[in-house]
Chains A and B, each alone.
Chain A
Amino acid sequence: MHTMTSTSTTADREIVTTRLIDAPRALVFEAWTDPKHVAHWFGPDGFVTTTHSMEVRPGGIWRFTMRGPDGTDWPNVVTYEQVVAPERLVYLHGDDKEPDMFHNTVTFDDQDGKTALTMRAVFKTAVAKDFVVRERGAVEGGKQTIARLDRYVREMARSGTN
């Protein structure tokens, strides 16, 4: 096992995403931290997100499962490090085996009643890559399932056996 020189910055493993959202930040923050809201947007298209427990406080854990369109379950674990409502969330995201695949910092900035959302993700490469590729593969799979269903329904309609 070799060790790389640890002068490395995290810049190479960091992805920053920003979005200006037309909603007050208290509401945006709530949408990130309330299980009933999260179920509506967190999972990829066609996924169902089920929260088992969610404790939004430093050291608290959000445990949830994303069920893919093909019925596959993807367990997720989020461990909160910093919770500053409604300004900032810092958390680790992964699963039980690798709870620290991603280190995320999400900031909610008020901009005249809108919210400037900034997400800074630093990832452990190998496992994080698998995680994303798997999830993305599942999304692609889901699209195919829906396309199949669509074709099937249309064929049924055409043959008049509805």
Chain B
Amino acid sequence: MPDRLSTTLSALADPTRRAILARLATGEATVNQLAEPFDISLPAVSRHLKVLQKAGLIAQGREAQWRPCRITPAPLEEVSDWVEAYRELWERRLDRLESYLDKLQEKKKPASRRRRST
């Protein structure tokens, strides 16, 4: 069973769906309005919306005629938290690599790599 992060990322793994989200980030829109910029059928757009809805990335209004979609950003925050955690691990790891390489180079050529006062 996929976890929520995987579901979110699968939903995001499509340029049309990302474009739909980008459009919704500027405000609510109907299915027709969302379909307009794309060269695909209305049912195809609906299928994309269903994927986004299942992932909890959008919600749709209830009125039968006017069912505007809006973005629900909570799952996106989860994605950015996870990316942030990963980045932080690697930023620190590369910090250590850098200071280790500094030490190595000081040992190798002590004269030319003497530290300036900073």
List A residues at the B interface (Cβ < 8 Å).
4-5, 7-9, 11-13, 15, 17, 19, 21-23, 27-28, 31, 37, 40-42, 44-45, 117, 119, 121, 123, 125-126, 129, 132-133, 135-136, 139
B5 contacts A125, CB within 8 Å?
A: yes
B96 contacts A40, CB within 8 Å?
A: yes
List B residues at the A interface (Cβ < 8 Å).
2-3, 5-6, 9-10, 12-15, 82-83, 85-94, 96-98, 100-102, 104-105
Pick the contact of A125 from B6, B96, B102 — CB < 8 Å? Answer: B6
A19 contacts B98, CB within 8 Å?
A: yes
Bound together, the chains give a CA A5 to CA B16 distance in angstroms of 13
Bound together, the chains give a CA A28 to CA B14 distance in angstroms of 37
Pick the contact of A22 from B6, B12, B98 — CB < 8 Å? Answer: B98
CB distance from B103 to the nearest CB of A (A): 8
Give the one of B85, B86, B91 with max A CB within 10 A. Answer: B86
A45 contacts B94, CB within 8 Å?
A: no
A45 contacts B98, CB within 8 Å?
A: no
B89 contacts A125, CB within 8 Å?
A: no
A132 contacts B5, CB within 8 Å?
A: no
A31 contacts B3, CB within 8 Å?
A: no
Question: Which residue on B lies nearest to A128, using beta carbons?
Answer: B86
Q: A123 to chain B: which residues have CB within 8 Å?
A: 86
Q: A21 to chain B: which residues have CB within 8 Å?
A: 94, 97-98, 101
Q: B94 to chain A: which residues have CB within 8 Å?
A: 17, 19, 21, 117
Closest 6 CB pairs of A and B: A8-B13, A41-B96, A125-B6, A23-B101, A41-B97, A12-B13
B101 contacts A126, CB within 8 Å?
A: no
Bound together, the chains give a CA A129 to CA B80 distance in angstroms of 12
Question: Which residue on A lies nearest to B104, using beta carbons?
Answer: A27
Pick the contact of A13 from B9, B102, B104, B105 — CB < 8 Å? Answer: B9
Assess A119 versus B90: contact at CB under 8 Å? Given A7-B14, A9-B13, A126-B5.
yes
B93 contacts A44, CB within 8 Å?
A: yes
Q: A117 to chain B: which residues have CB within 8 Å?
A: 94
Bound together, the chains give a CA A106 to CA B73 distance in angstroms of 32
Assess A41 versus B100: contact at CB under 8 Å? Given A23-B105, A121-B86, A136-B88.
yes
Bound together, the chains give a CA A132 to CA B14 distance in angstroms of 25
CB distance from A119 to the nearest CB of B (A): 7
